[in-house]
Amino acid sequence: MVAEDKPVEGREHWTKKGEVKLFLWEKPSVSQEAKRGTVLFVHGSSMASQPTFDLSVPGRPNSSVMDWFARRGFDTWTVDMEGYGRSDKHRDINSDIANGADDLAAASSYILEQRDSGPFLVYGISSGALRAAAFCERHPERVKRLALDAFVWTGKGSPTLAERAKRLPEFRAKNRRAIDRAFVHSIFNRDHPGTAEDRTIEAFADAILALDDSMPTGTYVDMTSKLPIIDPAKITVPTIIMRGQWDGIASFDDLIEFYKLLPNPDKQFAVMPGISHASFQQKNYDLVYHILYSFFTQPEPVYTGEH
């Protein structure tokens, strides 16, 4: 039985990628049942890790996906990419997708040193899904199962990226872009207004803006001028593609073509009804948790047909 009100202790950690300090946040399992694995959550382009995965909203139960999974037997971790949140921001770089994959390599090495955790259950959202996929390409031995939410492959048919590309010269010209409360609101209004409650949007904005007033431009440059940057043939682990019904980052056709090319037969494509982009902050977040939990707890096949 899950104790929904059982408190989950958060622990801060720090590691280094060369001379760059990276902030990690851990919420270990509080379940009395056997451990179900270690989840590594990967944030997107416009917010740090804790606002995305450990959000608190009064009157909205289980707003922290880290708490939700910790209460069900998972050890949970997340990391601020370089240039975000509490991690270092001093280098003269734009923190692109490749740099984020480097951050995940450093973070996962640290976690493996600190905990006997085995390969990770990795979840990435938006550009975090691209970072997670790039990390999986480089280190498949560290990934047990991979969840790609609000993912994009070629960008073909994406209204959000088409609109964003109009500002590509601006994003290329500088390493950071300013954000404010109106920008956070735009995340929820651009695809299909009404998918998130106002109180959740405001709590999300509060948490984001408490840590940052600007964000790196690298993921925007990559997603509007360099796609595709992930080769599906190199994603060899079990994978789920999670796509919100109204998400404007990637078209269904783009994702289906990527899905077809994934070589591991243990793969899923989940459409999330009533969801636009920021899945865990939507009204239908319980549905998102269920999809992810089901994938992360799926039994391994006992027969594969291989000799």
Q: Give the whole-angstrom CA distance, residue 38 versus residue 116.
A: 10
CA-to-CA separations, 182 to 128, 165, 201, 222, in angstroms, rounded: 22, 20, 11, 24
Q: Which helix (H) or strand (E) holds 292?
A: helix 285-296
Q: How many CB atoms lie within 10 A of CB 193?
A: 11
Tokens encoding 86: 């509490």
Q: Output the pLDDT for position 306.
A: 75
pLDDT averages per 10-residue partition of the chain, 307 residues: 80 98 98 90 98 97 97 97 98 98 98 92 98 98 98 97 97 98 97 97 98 98 98 98 97 97 98 97 98 97 85
Tally Cβ neighbours within 10 Å of residue 286. Answer: 12
What is the model's pLDDT at position 307? 64
Q: Give me the residue spans of the domains in the chain.
A: 11-296
Three-class SS string for 85-126? CCCCCCCCCCCCHHHHHHHHHHHHHHHHHHCCCCCEEEEEEC
Predicted local distance difference test score (pLDDT) of residue 3: 65
Q: Report the candidate in 60, 243, 277, 262 with the shortest Cα–Cα distance to residue 160.
A: 277
Q: Residue 244: beta bridge partners?
A: 272
Distance CA 82, CA 179 (A): 17
Q: What pLDDT does 32 receive? A: 80
* pLDDT of res. 214: 98
Which helix or strand (DSSP H or E) is residue 133 part of? Answer: helix 127-138
Is the domain defined by 11-296 classed in CATH 3.40.50.1820? yes
78: CB partners within 8 A, 6+ apart: 24, 25, 40, 41, 42, 43, 49, 50, 52, 53, 54, 66
pLDDT for the residue 2: 73
